[in-house]
Structure 1
Amino acid sequence: MAATETTKSRRRRTFSGRDKVTLGFFIGVPTFIHIALVWFPALATIFLSFTYWTGIHISDIQWAGLANYENIFFETPRFWEAVRVNVIWLAWFALIATPLGILLAYQIDREIRGHTFYQSAYYLPVVLSLAVIGIIWNFLLRPDGFVNGLMGLPISEAISFFGDDRYNLWVILVMASWRHIGYIMLLYLAGLKAIDMTLREAAAIDGATEWETFKKVIFPAMGPVNIIVIVITIIESLRAFDMVYIIYGGRGGLPILGVLVFENIAGEGASMKGAAYAVILFLLSIVPIIAYLQQQFKEDVR
């Protein structure tokens, strides 16, 4: 008995004063930075959304209650136009871009001819930021850009891909999908590589077609990856700001919620409408994600 207690005591790790300082430094500094740069601004934004403030002197903060939100919901038609655009953006990603990324991942995983080239080509846009992608596509599609020049159109007759309401939304969705498809492909391909090959072999022995194998074997086995893909699809469709800002600048152009946050954060006199827009955008992003995750966790428990 004594020998056992001696062995356990030897196994226990004792920390010296220097070890405790080191651990405190590596845990405390990142925690402080995270709280200072993430949690404090987030909580401050929520508070400021209920106030009037010029953003200069803290003593000038005045309580506004729900006035900023009432102004957004009942007196700002541009907000509902932005919601419509973001809903279209989400539907496009969910029904077209994300399924295309999954399809590409599945085909590359089957090692079709040239799969290494396709994987590199579709992954390339992922390493670029949305701002850089906006610059590239703006160079290609502006009135004096490459595409209009390739068609031999003078500037007076050039197609305004970004200025014409018939085209601008769909052109920007294609631009955003260029990166999103590669991102989803990368995530799904990593998940497919982790699936046990015996599952596919068993399905093939049972006479399942390739579609039945994917629907009934591979897709359910990719549950954790599917959750990540859904979360990313929602976030990417709502946080699209960089690309629209690069093309249209700070004001005007295509209305989306991210742009409204930027336009109103310091440009509406004493109101904090920008903070209210940020809170609304946060809720629209987090509520469906939490609801979906809770549903998935309940199914896992069952």
Structure 2
Amino acid sequence: MTATDLGDRVAVRAAARPRPFWTIPRRDALVGYLMISPQLAGSVLFVLLPLGLVVYYSLQEWNVLAGTFEYVGGANYAKLLADPNMGQVLASTALFSAGLVVLNLTLALVLAILLDQRLRGTTFFRTLFFSPVLVSLVAWTIVWQFLLQQDGGVNGLLGLAGVEGPNWLRGDTTALLSVVVVQVVKNVGLNMVLFLAALQGVPRQLHEAAQLDGAGAWTRFARITVPQISPTILLTSIITVVGSLQVFAQIAVLTQGGPGLSTTVLVYYLYQQAFQFRHLGYGATLSVLLFLIVAALTLLQWWLRRKWVFHES
């Protein structure tokens, strides 16, 4: 028997053996799936399943007091389209979100630029501006409720300057503005820290080279700083937009949606319909609407990133 024949027989026997199921690639894949299984289980239980149940409940009419649970199909969605309050609610939501996002991001970026300077005392001011983020939301809102009353601290300070302040939480315009300002002051420190970290990552050599070429401060900011920190701007804008559409405690404590519907944003209107008026099916329908709005705005920002975010084109 030649060496070639012997090699052929060994190859045939090896091919005839059953291949083990737990090969190295399969074991590696199993380890990977086990690693992500807690996160996957959490996503299914606390994200996908609740979303599915909300859609299911939006097709029902659930009367908790009467103990009835009746399938109504698209009746709740027809009610949504015919709701006379929906136009004002969506307008209040849009105004609140737009004001909050623009004011928060602008103020956070300005503060980050100022605190990025190598001056004495910047550490103190960084702590000062970030500390409201750590304060309890309800406690923060209750304090501001007292400050913004007719005879509160804000009007007291204005009175010292000879200015008579309005009842901030009872005016159609001032109520919405007050809630926006309270929310901005509470959370601007978080975006400020993110912008500050991004600014400190911008190479100093780029600014020095541009300055030697005669570029002014505004040109360097627009052509160097903004493109370099644009990924952080995208992140903070998505976080702030989503957060602005989920504000509830501030509205509930400060204005209860009033006066009229001027501060009744979609989340608070959802709460009223579902838990005050016991229209749980209609509340679930409003939840579906809120989810679609958040998803659409997030996807829009993610799609637009290729047009202005550095390294994404």
Normalised by the shorter chain, which TM-score bucket? 0.7 to 0.9
Structure 2 partner of 1:233? 240
Offset, 1:64: 2.4
Structure 2 CA distance for aligned equivalents of residues 58 and 191 of structure 1: 54
- Give secondary structure in 2 for the equivalent of 1:53: strand
Structure 1 residues 16-95: aligned runs within 5 Å? 24=34, 27-55=36-64, 60-65=69-74, 67-77=75-85, 79-95=86-102
Query: 1:4-52: CA deviations, max 9, x gaps?
Result: xxxxxxxx89979xx96x983x643443233212221122112222322
Give distance in 2, aligned partners of 1:166 and 1:92. 12
Q: Give distance in 2, aligned partners of 1:274 and 1:237.
A: 19
State the distance in 1 between where 2:299 and 2:292 align. 10
Instruction: Map 1:81-230; keep pairs closer than 5 Å.
Output: 81-143=88-150, 145-148=152-155, 159-230=166-237
1:57 to 1:38, Cα distance in 2 relative to 1, 3 A: farther
Structure 1 residues 112, 82: CA separation in 2 closer, same or farther (over 3 Å shift)?
Answer: farther
TM-score, length-normalised on structure 2? 0.77
Change (3 A) 1:81 1:59: closer
- Distance of aligned partners of 1:166 and 1:93 in 2 relative to their CA distance in 1, 3 Å threshold: closer
2:178 partner SS: helix
Conserved in 1, the CA contact under 8 Å of 2:306 and 2:312? yes
Amino acid at match of 1:71: K
The whole-number CA distance in structure 2 between the counterparts of 1:301 and 1:248 is 42
- CA shift in 2, pair 1:57/1:28, >3 Å: farther
Shift of 1:58: 9.7
User: How far apart are 1:219 and its partner, in Å?
Assistant: 0.5
Contact preservation (8 Å) 1:49, 1:68: yes
- Give the counterpart of 2:283 among 274, 284, 291: 274
Shift of 1:220: 0.6
For residues 232-288 of structure 1, the C-alpha deviation after alignment (integer angstroms, 9 at most, x for no partner) is 231122111111112245x65521111011111244456511111111112111212
CA contact (8 A) 1:137 1:175 kept: yes
Cα distance, 1:227 vs. partner?
A: 0.9
> C-alpha displacement at 1:105, in angstroms?
0.5
SS at match of 1:52: strand
CA contact under 8 A between 1:52 and 1:64: conserved in structure 2?
A: no
1:98/1:180 contact within 8 Å kept: no
Structure 1 contact 53–271 (Cα < 8 Å) conserved: yes
Using structure 1 for the length normalisation, give the TM-score. 0.80
Aligned partners of 2:279 and 2:247: how far apart in 1? Answer: 27
Of residues 274, 284, 290, the one that matches 2:293 is 284
Q: Which has the larger radius of gyration?
A: 2
Match of 1:296 in 2: 305
> Measured at CA, do residues 238 and 301 of structure 1 come closer, stay the same or move farther in structure 2, by a change above 3 Å?
closer
1:7 is matched with none
Q: How many residues are paired up?
A: 281
RMSD across aligned positions (CA): 3.2
What percent of counterpart residues are identical? Answer: 25
Q: Any stretches of 5+ residues in structure 1 without a counterpart? A: 1-11
1:165-215 residue CA offsets vs partner (Å, 9 max, x unmatched): 242111111111112322221111111111222111111111111111110
Distance 1:103 1:158 in 2: 28
Q: What secondary structure is seen at the aligned counterpart in 1 of 2:129? A: helix
